[in-house]
């Protein structure tokens, strides 16, 4: 386990984006298989929608079969639409680094190996870039991981939504061995350490 403290003890970001009421925003994170990261963020209060997809390359090869070859520069990502009055960009980052994936792995997550599974934050604005970079530096300085953070910061050029069969995959396939072994423990961790951030009934 790369995190040397419990996720609850992960520090809050020193910097964050403004909490404008009534103005939905989006965040694009890649943390391995999008089935798993989608399942985490779907349960969070203030998150309005989560869509799996691809970012980091062109539309021509933005399909599951091609991306899974690892021969493109896409990453499997999720697009999180959220209400910043209820959950901030910094809080989404805290879950990204504390629950959703292992930021110390380069071009992989567990048994999923390849550039398409890289740890990456796609920023749409200079403000998002600044907040994410500052938090990564803050976490590295705290020395709370067993290794350095390998998360890439890349400008968002486009988000390509994934095929319909990948949406809500974990929720629709709880008995799938991969979901039970990889996705479910992440959601369990979220509920254990951040129950106060969950949607009602979550």
List, by residue number, the catalytic residues. 33
> Please, what is the Cα angle at 118 between 115 and 122, to 5 degrees?
110
φ and ψ of 27, to 5 deg: -135, 145
Indicate the helix (H) or strand (E) that contains 152. Answer: strand 152-155
C-alpha to C-alpha distance for 167 and 199, rounded to whole angstroms: 19
Strand 159-161 relative to strand 47-55, pairing: antiparallel
Cα–Cα separations (whole angstroms), residue 111 to 49, 103, 144: 28, 15, 23
């Amino acid at each position: 386990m790369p995190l040397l403290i419990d996720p609850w003890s992960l520090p809050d970001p020193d910097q964050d984006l403004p909490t404008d009421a009534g103005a939905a925003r989006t965040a694009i994170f890649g943390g391995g298989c999008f089935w798993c990261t989608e399942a985490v963020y779907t349960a969070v209060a203030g998150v309005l929608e989560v869509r799996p997809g691809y970012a980091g390359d062109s539309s021509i090869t933005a399909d599951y079969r091609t991306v899974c070859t690892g021969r493109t520069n896409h990453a499997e990502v999720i697009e999180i639409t959220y209400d910043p009055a209820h959950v901030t960009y910094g809080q989404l980052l805290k879950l990204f680094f504390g629950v959703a994936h292992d930021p110390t792995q380069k071009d992989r997550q567990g048994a999923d190996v390849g550039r398409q599974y890289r740890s990456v934050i796609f920023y749409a604005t200079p403000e998002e870039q600044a907040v994410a970079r500052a938090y990564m530096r803050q976490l590295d300085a705290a020395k709370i991981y067993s290794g350095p953070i390998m998360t890439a910061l890349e400008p968002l050029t486009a988000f390509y939504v994934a095929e319909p069969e990948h949406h809500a995959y974990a929720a629709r396939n709880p008995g799938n061995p991969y979901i039970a072994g990889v996705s479910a423990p992440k959601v369990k961790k979220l509920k254990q350490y951040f129950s106060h951030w969950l949607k009602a009934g979550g």
